[in-house]
Structure 1
Amino acid sequence: MRIFTGVVVAVVFLLAGSPVAAQETVWFVVAENPIIQIAHGDSYLLPLSRPEDIADARRRIAEGPDSGVGSIATVTIAVGGDGFNRDVRGAGTPAWSWHVIGFGGFGDFAIELCDGWPTFVEQDVQAFIANTGGEMCLWKYSVVAELDAQPDFAISEGLNGAWTNTETLGQGMFVDVVAEAGKFFLGWFTYGTDGPTERPGDEHAWMTAQGTFQGDTATLDAFLTTGGRFDDPAPVSTRKIGQVTVTFSDCDHGSVQYNFDDGRTGTFALARIASRPGCVTRVGDGVARKRDTGLGNDNP
Structure 2
Amino acid sequence: MRSKTAKLISWTTGGFLLVLAAFRAPAEVTYFLLSTRLVGSALGSCVLPLTKPEDIAEARREMTLDQPPLIPLVRITAGADGINRDYLAPGKPSWTWHVTGFVGFVEGVPEILESTPALVERRQGGWFHDSSGAATVAFTGYKPVAELTREQIFFASAQLTANGMDLHWVDLGANYLYTVETSSSFSPANWMPAPGGSWPIAGTNWVDIATPLSGPRFYRVKAELKSP
Q: TM-score category by the smaller chain?
A: 0.5 to 0.7
Task: Provide the residue aligned with 1:59 in structure 2.
Answer: 61
1:255 to 179, 189, 193: 179
TM-score by length of 2: 0.59
- Distance (whole Å) between structure 2 residues aligned to residue 87 and residue 123 of structure 1: 14
TM-superposed CA distance for 1:44, in Å, is: 0.4
More strand by share: 2
Decide whether aligned partners of structure 1 residues 248 and 220 sit closer, same or farther in structure 2, where only a CA change above 3 A counts: farther
Decide whether aligned partners of structure 1 residues 219 and 81 sit closer, same or farther in structure 2, where only a CA change above 3 A counts: farther
Task: Provide the residue aligned with 2:45 in structure 1.
Answer: 43
TM-superposed CA distance for 1:127, in Å, is: 2.7
Letter in 2 for 1:151: Q
TM-superposed CA distance for 1:99, in Å, is: 0.6
- Distance (whole Å) between structure 1 residues aligned to residue 41 and residue 221 of structure 2: 47
- Distance (whole Å) between structure 2 residues aligned to residue 111 and residue 247 of structure 1: 39
Task: Provide the residue aligned with 1:82 in structure 2.
Answer: 81
TM-superposed CA distance for 1:74, in Å, is: 0.5
Task: Provide the residue aligned with 2:119 in structure 1.
Answer: 120
Task: Provide the residue aligned with 2:141 in structure 1.
Answer: 140
Please state whether the residue corresponding to 1:130 is helix, strand or coil: coil
Task: Provide the residue aligned with 1:196 in structure 2.
Answer: none
Task: Provide the residue aligned with 1:29 in structure 2.
Answer: 33
**Structure 1: which 5+ residue stretches go unaligned?**
1-21, 155-214, 223-241, 276-300
**Structure 2: which 5+ residue stretches go unaligned?**
1-25, 182-193, 197-208, 211-216
TM-superposed CA distance for 1:254, in Å, is: 2.4
Alpha carbons 1:128, 1:134 under 8 Å: kept: yes
Letter in 2 for 1:250: L
TM-superposed CA distance for 1:245, in Å, is: 5.5
TM-superposed CA distance for 1:147, in Å, is: 1.9
- Distance (whole Å) between structure 2 residues aligned to residue 256 and residue 71 of structure 1: 43
Aligned pairs, number: 169
Letter in 2 for 1:112: E
More helix by share: 1
TM-score by length of 1: 0.46
Q: Which has the larger radius of gyration?
A: 1
Alpha carbons 2:43, 2:118 under 8 Å: kept: no
Provide Cα deviations, 1:124-169, integer angstroms capped at 9, x if missing partner: 3243222795101021212222223353446xxxxxxxxxxxxxxx
TM-superposed CA distance for 1:37, in Å, is: 7.6
Letter in 2 for 1:54: I
- Distance (whole Å) between structure 2 residues aligned to residue 30 and residue 39 of structure 1: 14
Decide whether aligned partners of structure 1 residues 221 and 270 sit closer, same or farther in structure 2, where only a CA change above 3 A counts: farther
Decide whether aligned partners of structure 1 residues 126 and 219 sit closer, same or farther in structure 2, where only a CA change above 3 A counts: farther
Please state whether the residue corresponding to 1:65 is helix, strand or coil: coil
Pairing 1:5-16 to 2, within 5 Å after superposition? none
Decide whether aligned partners of structure 1 residues 221 and 31 sit closer, same or farther in structure 2, where only a CA change above 3 A counts: same
- Distance (whole Å) between structure 2 residues aligned to residue 112 and residue 79 of structure 1: 21
Letter in 1 for 2:123: D
The alignment-based identity, stated in percent, is: 27
Pairing 1:209-248 to 2, within 5 Å after superposition? 215=156, 247=169
Letter in 1 for 2:116: W
Please state whether the residue corresponding to 1:127 is helix, strand or coil: helix
Letter in 2 for 1:51: P
